[in-house]
Structure 1
């Protein structure tokens, strides 16, 4: 299967958002999708755009709506009840905005891959560009509904808009994916289940840079909100604010392997190809992950006088990528410290969310709390603590991509002293398998 270049037929050029005046055409397409979905899907079916064109001339604008509105609502307006308003710190809100925006763009392609893979199971046809159009344009109402996040009290109205997007996708399924009408409901339901899972992934990664209640709230740095830069005729897409590049040629190759495996009934090979497609859609597998046992071996038995009371080391795989995480708890009386080491250097998309703060510097102080972000000897530090000594958090991003975090219900000076027992030099010296 070949992904078309950024070209349109003559008919499409008259009404498509990729032709003529971009903003005028964009608004026309948005209104048409909302008011005349049946006719609009037929029009889209006659168009022949590349994935990069839909990204750069449609998605980058609509996906920014919920991201920017969420920043306004939670960092500027604030949320709360009973006369108490809580606001996400400005820098943290900017990071959450960028991370959510970038991952939303990436997840459109991931969902298109899922839609393309599901189509044959419901009597439809596999054609990745059509699946991408289905997800990108079908989500229009959901993108617009994100504007309600600007007023947190109205955010639930965005759910109603998202439900209308489900209807839009349902109307487009028979047209673009050639799924028989009697099976369109089942196909759409399967897509929604996968979309919920994708949404959980986006929410999980975004939450990594969103402050938690109390002194463990973090800080972050913002990236840029430019559009995708395209190298070549719809082959490479660089997601804005990141160094992640989606190689659509790799996506196409993995898609062909999956179709061939499905044709010969090789479910194992088809599953592997699906993982490769999702990995390519999220910027590739990255480097080989560090072994969990290598990280666990560097967790000390004690932190000062506090013995280790629990430890866990695990490696998980999702969407063609591997995650390594080790953690331990140390306690003595009512004092508790949790130490966690996560190998984010092996996962490009995850590293964006978890280490966005490392590109910033910050020195913020209130009567109750202190938050700082700084660099020293090639290591990025993020620390936050309450002045009354009831809680503290210290995070270090090491040069090899290992994120070391310590947190506990004790003063920051005591936490720093305790974490000296962790051999950070040895952790930073760990080499990835070739």
Structure 2
């Protein structure tokens, strides 16, 4: 895929380009390494150049963010933009059935990645801080890209596209607020702040719950980010790509844990929650993905259970420090709908967000649970009614998952 041609086509001819994207094969790695990781570097690098090298001036006074902290901000904003797109894809996927669409993790990720094109390219205006507002205007075009892409890739009902887009945008705003607040914690505000003054706790209240960035551990994360930034500066001056990669990994680990949630739970820990038998069905396959993949603070474990036509899939995913943020965003949409063939419902219970979707003829059923600590559990089945699926889901020890503690970076 030619990234320049793809970006050009999605901006100038979004509908036919979405049709092409809908059918082309893709996976998480290719979408990130072949497209998003390159585009996400534009606002991060341009912001660093604009704030730390060019600076902003008014009435003859020029101000620049210190080089070291500009470098820290660049790394943090880059990492969080990659994570934010992934979390937004999870939300798009979860909401799809509610708006007449089909749930598909990879299709949702395609929407989140390619719809962000305008916003990412708009980051070039950060080269001149006084023009940064133009970047926001460019980002508004991403809303239109989202609106045109959802009904094609997620198969949502055309008449519900506006509502679907609106809900996703609200979720994106919540993500942006929290990520922006977290990013601001790593920018110098005063000498006393960096000398060890208390950092205020940042809270964002949403209809799905309150997301809080605890001040505990922020000072330690700042030190780790400072150390990583110095290592990156030293590696850059020495033109040492190996040292640069190591310093980037250090910065990624610190950024992933700065929201107070720590690192993602180990994938093997999640796998341990998948029993060898579930509801009398034997486990026929499993898959484990480490949270270090692509530098994202995520981990997941999934398993398949089956006998004859009955097939059950269980997936457990942890988003590390962003888990609580994702759970709150998911919880914003609650309600239920039902027709002659299908029923679904989203509600909160005991601090958890639950979603059920099933065919009334017993041909398919799905149950998703966003736990209080942000761990996401999904159970889906073919040739099984919702009552049987609930019974199976109840056999999973979600309480144990909910009480697992994450390691600090």
Query: Normalization by structure 2: what TM-score?
Result: 0.56
Instruction: Name the structure 2 match of 1:131.
Output: 108
Give the whole-Å Cα distance in 1 for the aligned partners of 2:161 and 2:371: 25
Instruction: Name the structure 2 match of 1:57.
Output: 34
Larger Rg: 1
* Stretch moving more, 120-129 or 214-223: 214-223
2:76/2:183 contact within 8 Å kept: yes
Instruction: Name the structure 1 match of 2:238.
Output: none
Aligned match of 1:66 in 34, 43, 46? Answer: 43
Instruction: Name the structure 2 match of 1:273.
Output: 369
1:51/1:234 contact within 8 Å kept: no
Instruction: Name the structure 2 match of 1:169.
Output: 146
Instruction: Name the structure 2 match of 1:41.
Output: 18
Gap runs ≥5 in structure 2: 196-221, 233-243, 253-266, 268-286, 304-313, 318-329, 331-335, 337-342, 355-367, 378-400
Aligned match of 1:211 in 188, 193, 201? Answer: 188
* Stretch moving more, 34-43 or 245-254: 245-254
Report whether the alignment pairs 1:99 with 2:99: no
Instruction: Name the structure 2 match of 1:417.
Output: none
2:369/2:376 contact within 8 Å kept: no
Give the whole-Å Cα distance in 1 for the aligned partners of 2:129 and 2:137: 15
Give the whole-Å Cα distance in 2 for the aligned partners of 1:208 and 1:280: 27
Give the whole-Å Cα distance in 2 for the aligned partners of 1:174 and 1:88: 43
1:237 Cα offset (Å) = 5.8
1:239 Cα offset (Å) = 6.2
Report whether the alignment pairs 1:253 with 2:305: no
> SS state of the match for residue 62, structure 2?
strand
Report whether the alignment pairs 1:78 with 2:55: yes
| Cα deviation 1:283-325 (Å, max 9, x = unaligned) | xxxxxxxxxxxxxxxxxxxxxxxxxxxxxxxxxxxxx999xxx
1:134/1:176 contact within 8 Å kept: yes
Instruction: Name the structure 2 match of 1:394.
Output: none
1:217 Cα offset (Å) = 5.0
Change (3 A) 1:76 1:207: same
Instruction: Name the structure 2 match of 1:238.
Output: 292
2:288/2:302 contact within 8 Å kept: no
1:69/1:148 contact within 8 Å kept: yes
> SS state of the match for residue 92, structure 1?
helix
Query: Normalization by structure 1: what TM-score?
Result: 0.53
Give the whole-Å Cα distance in 1 for the aligned partners of 2:291 and 2:29: 7
Give the whole-Å Cα distance in 2 for the aligned partners of 1:120 and 1:178: 9
Change (3 A) 1:275 1:27: farther
Change (3 A) 1:66 1:280: farther
Change (3 A) 1:151 1:213: farther
1:113/1:278 contact within 8 Å kept: no
1:48 Cα offset (Å) = 2.1
Change (3 A) 1:276 1:30: farther
* Stretch moving more, 210-219 or 45-54: 210-219
Instruction: Name the structure 1 match of 2:118.
Output: 141
Change (3 A) 1:239 1:96: farther
1:119/1:125 contact within 8 Å kept: yes
1:118 Cα offset (Å) = 1.3
Aligned match of 1:111 in 78, 84, 88? Answer: 88
1:250/1:277 contact within 8 Å kept: no
1:250 Cα offset (Å) = 5.8
1:280 Cα offset (Å) = 7.0
Give the whole-Å Cα distance in 2 for the aligned partners of 1:98 and 1:321: 30
Change (3 A) 1:321 1:197: farther
